[in-house]
Structure 1
Amino acid sequence: MKKFTVLDLVDLDLKEHNALNLVCLGGRPGLTREITMPDLNRPGLALSGFFDNFGFNRIQVFGRGEHAYLQMLEREGRDDTLKELFSRTFPCAIFTHSLQPTDVFLRLAEESETPVLQSDLTTSTFVARIIRALSSVFAPRQTMHGVLVEVFGIGVLLLGDSGVGKSEAALELVERKHRLVADDAVEVRNVSGNVLLGSGANKALGHHMEIRGLGIINITHLFGVGAIRDSKQIQLLVRLEAWDNTKEYDRIGAEEQYEDILGVKVPSLQVPVKPGRNIPIIIETAAMNERLKKMGYFSAKEFNQSVLKWLETENARRLYFQKNNL
């Protein structure tokens, strides 16, 4: 992962309920400082002079309690703990509730080139949002060759060899009012340890798609903004492959198949492609079936149970008639 700095944090393009609303109050030369971990620190103990196990490599968040203590230190002319605080290099200090740092704090921040940021959010709201944002930034990630679409609310990642028809299938799904997330290169991130979030690997390319024989098309311009989304959780893998007559394909689906991506197991299907097969309809059905599984209804297992009950009934009936014929 490339270096992530305080300036990158300020410039994060976060909208609505994710926005951090950060502005820089001082220490601008230090905006190039690197943030190396997604954890935060509330420096209340450090302000009182206790620096054992101080999280100097974390972002320091100042809420109303820390701000009130800073004001007391300034009134009493005690700046020794602040000097010791700024003798350690930490990424930045962030004040919530639109609180203003004291003059001494700002002066020491400028001298040590430590960025001082401010947000108008409450401390609890800000902490929740920045942890969510940093978790995404520092999440393990990999780029996969495939197409990510949202079908009936399920994030479906289409995989397969080049030329097998992934983009064509995705184009037909968009025509059927489903949504495209990314084509060709999908960046997959492991968020919160158990959620795979997929998005386009190259933001500059936007929601474009390459169709052989047609060229590059812009899905947004052709189908409107309702046909796209920026990211989606990956909940189902569909591997497309050329039909192999020598291969035995699963015809019942009673045994679920999974693939491991970044330590997360994702349900997986293998769909053979040949002329005459309507792949988009198969993908739609797979997505609806996956939704049913999440609701606790497994069609293949129910079918197996029905067959077993029928066999048991037939055996019982056969035994009954055999006894009556004796």
Structure 2
Amino acid sequence: MPLSIERSVLFCVDDKSKVDIGEPGSAVSTGVRGKKSIVPVSSTLSALDHDMQSKLSLTPSVALKVGVPESIEESFYRGNVTVKYKDSVFQPSTPFRHAVEMEQILTKGGANDAVPPILMIFSDGGPDHRITYHSVKLALIVLFKKLNLDMLIAGRSAPGHSWLNPAERIMSILNLALQNAALIRAECRPEFETTLNGANSMADIRKNAERVEGLKAAWVQSASPVIELLEERTNRLSLQSKRFECQPAASDDEVKQFEEQVLALIDEDITLGQYQEKNVKAKAAYQQFLADHCRQRHYLFQIRKCGNEACCRPPQSYKWGPAICT
């Protein structure tokens, strides 16, 4: 097998459309229609339509670890699929959450030794993957440094061409887990339900959670049975005889700790959460890293380790050759 394949790994990533979950007593259909359902004659098969407004929804994040073929004529639509179901209210998809979850997938065994030195990530370029955003660049740089990679390449498809992403084709398989299902969250304590009844949006629920102690924990607990159900159904799926794997979404603490590494690993003068061009253009250490280690294009962002021992400390087993830093 060519050396480049042995030392590299390619991930195609994408978020599936949200899966609406019904309120207590009002189950909501997933909207994935297939064959007729079989139920006892004494039961009534009924559920609210999926376009009904619901407070809880789950976002399945899909990561396809591509089994890179030896020949260009072979298909890239193969490999290992990892799915993470995330609560859309308190676990929104962000660049740092995606980076944490990518690290979790790569270091599942608990060590970085087995992580190939070259990591490639391909996405459809949504706001949480758009490589022209500094928040995405910072998250990728932290991931690059934490995993001690030699090179990280993040690419995205052009607008309207997300069909080029092999992860998009995984969604048709994932629909099998959602087919013929009507979902409903568990009921919270009465005082929490009263508060939730007055919330008309995800923003309202987040504001109420800041004001009402225990509301966030109760909300997460009410969503847990639905997530467990979907994970159990998803684990039955497979791509070319390789079973899907479900992993828990990254916690808020894990995302916070990862984002704080921006100060330690990149530039201590950056203000966390303020990643617009006007906020980072004067940050000397960050701008110097971009100039020395990165290649920035509209559809490609590349980070490469240099030969400067004090700067990158490349592993003895694998070197790029001449330094590109001074």
TM-score, with structure 1 as normaliser: 0.21
- Between structure 1 and structure 2, the one with the greater Rg is 1
TM-score, with structure 2 as normaliser: 0.21
The answer to which structure has the higher strand fraction is 1
Quick one: higher RCO (CA 8 Å, sep 6+), 1 or 2? 2
